[in-house]
């Protein structure tokens, strides 16, 4: 899509990657899962992101998943592709394939581990936009990258043609509000942390990219719609249900605990790949209790 036409809004699924028990890709199960989320009213799908176990996939598997996701979605909603490599060259390889497959946008992180200057970060995003001709969603996730993008950083990144949105995982709501104020209408702001989504959308965010959509897509869509409608009692009640379950599965080894939660409610998508480990018995017990107390989760 042209950046003049594409501005992400609503609830996007940070889609899991489905595996068989032997950890090979399970495209049939992925297809059923995506169809189920779209039937619940999800507004977009983001594949091979952190929740999709980007770091646990080979380049060939990433390409296979992107091609499959575009075919499964079939133009019903936008498809965003995670290009989460620290190497600009690898981001370009992912982006070129995503563009050829028919994806709509890339989710791009600042390069991590190698610690570039901000000039290097700018060049990273500029190259991704220019060489792939895809729209970009800037992904601020300092907990994963060690690179906190400030409001001033985001304003400079928004000057790059093709940057259409920010997926924001800052944990400080005051900072998030400052960023929204400085960006204004130049880019969309998307909530990236499920537990802060209620507050971020009420503060004016355009939408969200959440992992919880894999477990309870309709609840996530209902939360967004209630926030937009300023129906605070309904939104708060839904938020509290999602939050209690989210806190029970958002643990080390993500998205492994999320996949175990999905299996608990009859939506199994297979295991997480090693080295992601299973929850302890105590953790699993707390998850079961949270699901029981807040069900039905769908």
The CATH number given to whatever domain includes residue 179 is 3.20.20.70
The predicted structure's pLDDT at residue 222:
98
pLDDT tens track for 168-188:
999 999 999 999 999 999 999
Q: Place 196 in a pLDDT band, splitting at 50, 70 and 90.
A: very high
Distance of alpha carbon 218 from alpha carbon 247, whole angstroms: 19
The confidence score (pLDDT) of residue 153 equals 98
pLDDT score of 102 more than 80: yes
pTM for this predicted structure: 0.96
In the predicted model, is pLDDT for residue 3 greater than 60?
no
Domain count, the chain: 1
Q: List phi, psi (to 5°) of 13.
A: -85, 125
What is the DSSP secondary-structure string of the chain?
--TTT----EEEEE----B-TTS-B-HHHHHHHHHHHHHTT--EEEESSTTTTGGGS-HHHHHHHHHHHHHHHTTSS-EEEEE--SSHHHHHHHHHHHHHHT--EEEEPPP-SS---HHHHHHHHHHHHHHH--EEEEEE-HHHHS----HHHHHHHTTSTTEEEEEE--S-HHHHHHHHHHHTTSSEEEE--GGGHHHHHHTT--EEEESGGGT-HHHHHHHHHHHHTT-HHHHHHHHHHHHHHHHHH-STTTTHHHHHHHHHTT----PPPTTPPPPPHHHHHHHHHHHHHHPPP-
The reply to whether omega before 78 is within 30° of 0 (cis) is no
Q: Give domain status of residue 242, yes or no.
A: no
Q: Is residue 277 part of a domain?
A: no
Q: What confidence tier does 2 reach under pLDDT thresholds 50, 70, 90?
A: very low
Percent with pLDDT over 70 in the chain: 98
Residue 111 has pLDDT above 90, yes or no: yes
pLDDT at 121: 97
The pLDDT value given to residue 266: 96
Q: Is the pLDDT of residue 86 over 90?
A: yes
Does 260 reside within a domain? no
pLDDT at 296: 86
Q: How far apart are CA 14 and CA 34, in angstroms?
A: 11
Average pLDDT over all residues of the chain: 96
Residue 80 phi/psi, 5-degree rounding, is -105, 140
Whether the pLDDT of residue 298 is over 80: the answer is: no
Asked if the structure places residue 271 within a domain, the reply is: no
Which residues 6+ apart lie within 8 Å of 240 measured at CB? Answer: none
Domain range spanning residue 145? 10-228
pLDDT of residue 278: 96
* Stronger pLDDT, 50 or 147, i.e. the higher one: 50
Q: How far apart are CA 49 and CA 14, in angstroms?
A: 7
Percent of the chain beyond pLDDT 90? 96
What pLDDT score does 52 carry? 98
- Which pLDDT belongs to residue 26? 98
CA angle at residue 216 from 215 to 220, to 5 degrees? 130
Q: Active-site positions?
A: 139, 167
Band of residue 166 on the pLDDT scale cut at 50, 70, 90: very high
Q: How confident is the model at residue 109 (pLDDT cuts 50, 70, 90)?
A: very high
Maximum pairwise Cα distance, the chain: 50
Cβ neighbours for 65, distance < 8 A, ≥ 6 positions apart = 17, 25, 27, 30, 47, 48, 52, 57
pLDDT digits (tens, 9 = 90+) for 244-284: 999 999 999 999 999 999 999 999 999 999 999 999 999 99
Residue 4 has pLDDT above 80, yes or no: no
Scanning the structure block, which residue is given the tokens 């595996």?
19
Residue 26 lies in a domain: yes
What sign does the dihedral 54-58-64-66 (CA atoms) show?
positive
- Per-residue pLDDT averaged across 63-80, rounded? 98
């Amino acid at each position: 899509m042209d950046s003049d036409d594409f501005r992400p809004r609503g609830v996007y699924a940070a889609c899991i990657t489905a595996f068989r028990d032997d950890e090979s890709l399970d495209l049939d199960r992925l297809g059923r899962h995506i169809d189920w989320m779209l039937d619940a009213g999800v507004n977009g799908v983001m594949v091979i992101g952190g929740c999709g176990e980007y770091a646990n996939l080979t380049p060939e598997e990433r390409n296979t998943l992107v091609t499959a996701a575009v075919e499964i979605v079939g133009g019903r909603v936008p498809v965003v592709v995670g290009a989460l490599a620290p190497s600009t060259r690898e981001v370009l390889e992912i982006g070129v394939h995503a563009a050829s497959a028919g994806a709509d946008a890339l989710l791009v992180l600042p390069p991590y581990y190698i610690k570039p200057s901000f000039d290097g970060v700018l060049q990273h995003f500029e190259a991704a936009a220019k060489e792939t001709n895809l729209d970009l969603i800037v992904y601020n996730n300092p907990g994963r990258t060690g690179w906190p993008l400030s409001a001033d950083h985001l304003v400079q990144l928004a000057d790059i043609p093709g940057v259409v949105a920010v997926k924001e995982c800052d944990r400080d709501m005051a900072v998030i509000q400052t960023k929204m104020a400085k960006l204004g209408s130049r880019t969309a702001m998307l909530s990236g942390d499920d537990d802060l989504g209620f507050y971020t959308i009420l503060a004016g965010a355009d939408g969200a990219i959440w992992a919880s959509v894999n477990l309870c897509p309709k609840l996530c869509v209902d939360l967004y719609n209630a926030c937009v409608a300023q129906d605070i009692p309904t939104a708060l009640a839904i938020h509290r249900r999602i939050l209690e379950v989210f806190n029970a599965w958002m643990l080390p080894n993500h998205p492994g605990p999320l996949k175990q939660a999905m299996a608990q409610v009859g939506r199994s998508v297979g295991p997480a790949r090693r080295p992601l480990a299973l929850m302890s018995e105590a953790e699993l017990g707390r998850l079961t209790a949270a699901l029981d107390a807040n069900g039905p989760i769908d």
